[in-house]
Amino acid sequence: MSGLVTIGETMGLFTAAEPGPRADRFRLGIGGAESNVAIGMARLGAHATWIGRVGQDTAGDLVRRELTAEGVLAHIGVDASAPTGLMVKTQPLAGLSRVEYHRAGSAGSRLSPTDIDPQVIQGAGLVHVTGITPALSGSAAAAIETALDLAEAANVPISFDVNHRSALWRGRDSAGAYRAIARRATIVFAGADEAAMLVGVEAGTAPEALARAIADLGPSQVVIKLGAQGCLALADGATTAAGAIPVAAVDTVGAGDAFVAGYLAEYLEGSAMSERLAVAVRAGACACMAYGDWESLPHRADLALLDSIDPVIR
């Protein structure tokens, strides 16, 4: 199988230099769920392609440079009439992150079906989407629909991470939109609350029941992300669980994307479910141990560092 293709918005990211209630020094980076997954895949040795749109500005230039430097093949449209979206990330308290979004009218929200190259989708080993992009605008939702249509026609598996952002939907039917994508997907990832919303059951429903309810929509693989409790996967009727790797978490933003990247990298390798989950939880743990949305995503060799008992590497 060839590599992963993903579609979404990546923004400029201003991150506070240190924790505290009053941030006055920031550094500029980038961040976006789909590009985080693409970078995570590339670092684990998989081929990854990101499709998106940026503005003709400093943040857009940085998106292109960082993705290219990380080995991600970027199909980027440059929109001279709209800015690259921005995020501001602070830590009011150590270990507690707050992210504010400034993306209304952004270049990424103007993603459209014309940005989707049929040959890129048809040549993919896997197409990965999230619930974020369809919420950005009607044209962005149409772009995702076009990508899914092309993937289905070419028998390319579809991966879907719910990644719910309530503020983006503004009272619209997010659950209905998510179900429509889940019905077309081979693999669905969801947190427990996201899974409950997706299938319309009460929060607190057992993870296995959630996974089976999602599987009834059509996907052959469902992965419920349970944070510090690990995860549970259902594939072809059989469940597999994996515990989380205990770490001293510094910044949990991006951990879910790292988890997805670890799982999908092993999926493309044809690994057994137990190995997919093992790499996924290790990748998620690594992402929690340093600051940044994607900077701490692990390379293959980094996964073994979690087993080290010596705090100094010589």
Q: Which of 79, 257, 302, 307 is labelled catalytic?
A: 257
As a whole number, the mean pLDDT across the chain is: 94
The pLDDT score that the predictor gives to residue 312 is 56
| 1 pLDDT above the threshold of 50 | no
163-167, 179-183, 239-243, 289-293: least confidently modelled range? 289-293
The pLDDT score that the predictor gives to residue 56 is 98
CA–CA separation, 291 vs 145, rounded Å? 34
Q: Which among 279, 117, 268, 254 is positioned nearest to 186, based on CA atoms?
A: 268
Q: Which residues contact 61 (CB under 8 A, 6 or more apart)?
A: none
Q: Where in the chain are the domains?
A: 4-300
What share of the chain has pLDDT > 70, as a percent? 97
Q: Which residues contact 290 (CB under 8 A, 6 or more apart)?
A: 250, 251, 296
Q: What dihedral angle (degrees, nearest 10) is formed by the CA atoms of 217, 8, 250, 290?
A: 130
Structure tokens at 32: 């976006």
Q: Which residues contact 237 (CB under 8 A, 6 or more apart)?
A: none
The pLDDT score that the predictor gives to residue 252 is 85
> Into which CATH architecture does domain 4-300 fall?
3-Layer(aba) Sandwich (3.40)
The pLDDT score that the predictor gives to residue 305 is 85
Contact 266, 274 (CB under 8 A): no
Instruction: Identify whether 257 is a catalytic site residue.
Output: yes
Pairing mode, if any, of strands 238-242 and 231-235? antiparallel
| Mean pLDDT calculated for residue range 284-300 | 91
The pLDDT score that the predictor gives to residue 275 is 97
The pLDDT score that the predictor gives to residue 43 is 97
Query: Which DSSP string corresponds to 54-122?
Result: EESSHHHHHHHHHHHHTT-EEEEEEETTSPPPEEEEEEEETTEEEEEEE-TT-TGGG--GGG--HHHHH
| 313 pLDDT above the threshold of 80 | no
- pLDDT tens digit sequence for 19-52: 888 888 999 999 999 999 999 999 999 999 999 9
Q: What dihedral angle (degrees, nearest 10) is formed by the CA atoms of 35, 40, 44, 50?
A: -10
pTM summary value: 0.94
| Mean pLDDT calculated for residue range 273-286 | 96
Annotate 240-264 with b (16+ C-beta within 10 A) or e (fewer).
eebebbebeebbbbbbbbbbbbbbb
φ, ψ (nearest 5 deg) of residue 138? -65, -40
Q: How buried is 142 (Cβ within 10 angstroms: 0-12 exposed, 13-18 middle, 19+ buried)?
A: middle
- pLDDT tens digit sequence for 142-197: 999 999 999 999 999 999 999 999 989 988 999 999 999 999 999 999 999 999 99
What share of the chain has pLDDT > 90, as a percent? 83
The pLDDT score that the predictor gives to residue 107 is 98
Q: Which among 64, 43, 67 is positioned nearest to 261, based on CA atoms?
A: 43
Place of tokens 């309810």: 213
Instruction: Print the SS3 string covering 35-64.
Output: HHHHHHHHHCCCCEEEEEEEECCHHHHHHH
Q: How buried is 64 (Cβ within 10 angstroms: 0-12 exposed, 13-18 middle, 19+ buried)?
A: middle
The pLDDT score that the predictor gives to residue 308 is 66
| Mean pLDDT calculated for residue range 226-248 | 93
| 95 pLDDT above the threshold of 80 | no
